[in-house]
Amino acid sequence: MSGDGGRIDVSEVWPGAFTTTRLRATPLCETDGALFAALYGDADTMAQVGAPLDREAAGRALAAALRQMRSAPPKARYWRLDEGPHALGLLSLVIDAGRTTAETGLLLGAGARTRGIAREALAALLPRVVCAGGLEAVWTRHRTGHAAAEGLMRSLGFVPLDAETGWARWRMDQTRLQALAATPVTV
């Protein structure tokens, strides 16, 4: 509950674990340290995000992410993405101060890129969090010139926002998501 007269906090609708046709998303935990360090320490994976982290810095970042998840109310939710026995990457949702919108992001290892993993994970997450009682909108950003990320955002129906220096920004709100869900798909 929030302190606004009994209204349920938006984090109450966030899924714990969820699955798709291929993927299993489970909340990040301490035992995911090796995956976290491998992703955040890999220069190729981090090329569109920022500088790679050494193992110690990745450990501190994991601890910070877990604190965000465990705060009351939660400031974030991070999921580990697996396909069968294979760890593929991380999906995140970090709530903004007003608790009505959140930034989402994905970090995928080399073997998970260009396979539709990001699209599948976000397509499963969005209707679970951008909904009545949930978030009003989700936004994301990527480095300008990152063609794969731009293609992903367009394919999911995100709307471009004003860019920040070096960053392209996108948004999906409840109205847009509902309209997309109601639009017939022609094959």
The pLDDT of residue 10 is: 85
The pLDDT of residue 120 is: 95
Q: Pick one of 3.40.630.30, 1.10.3130.10, 3.40.50.10470, 1.10.10.60 as the CATH number of 10-181.
A: 3.40.630.30
The pLDDT of residue 13 is: 87
Q: Is the pTM of this model over 0.85?
A: yes
Name the least confident of 27-36, 55-64, 178-187.
178-187
What average pLDDT does the segment 18-23 reach? 94
The pLDDT of residue 187 is: 45
The pLDDT of residue 176 is: 87
- Distance, CA of 87 to CA of 104 (rounded, Å): 19
The alpha carbon dihedral of 14, 15, 16, 20 has a sign of negative
The pLDDT of residue 7 is: 61
pLDDT at residue 184 tops 90:
no
Q: In the chain, pLDDT over 70 holds for what percent of residues?
A: 94
Give me the DSSP letters along 99-140.
SSEEEEEEEE-GGGTTTTHHHHHHHHHHHHHSSTTS-SEEEE
Tokens of 114: 């260009």
The pLDDT of residue 6 is: 52
The pLDDT of residue 60 is: 97
Tokens of 151: 């293609």
What average pLDDT does the segment 49-63 reach? 95
Inter-axis angle of helices 147-156 and 117-129, nearest 10? 40
Q: Domain coordinates of the chain in residue numbers? A: 10-181
Cis ω before 160 (30° cut-off from 0): no
Contact yes or no for 45/108 (Cβ under 8 A):
yes
- Residues 75-90 have pLDDT tens digits of 999 999 999 999 999 9
Tokens of 88: 């593929």
Give residue 149's pLDDT band: very low, low, confident or very high (50, 70, 90): very high
Mean per-residue pLDDT over the chain, rounded: 90
- Residues 105-146 have pLDDT tens digits of 999 999 999 899 999 999 999 999 998 888 999 999 998 989
State which amino acid sits at residue 27: P
State which amino acid sits at residue 21: T
State which amino acid sits at residue 161: L
- Distance, CA of 61 to CA of 76 (rounded, Å): 13
- Give the residue with greater pLDDT, 50 vs 89: 89
State which amino acid sits at residue 174: Q
State which amino acid sits at residue 118: A
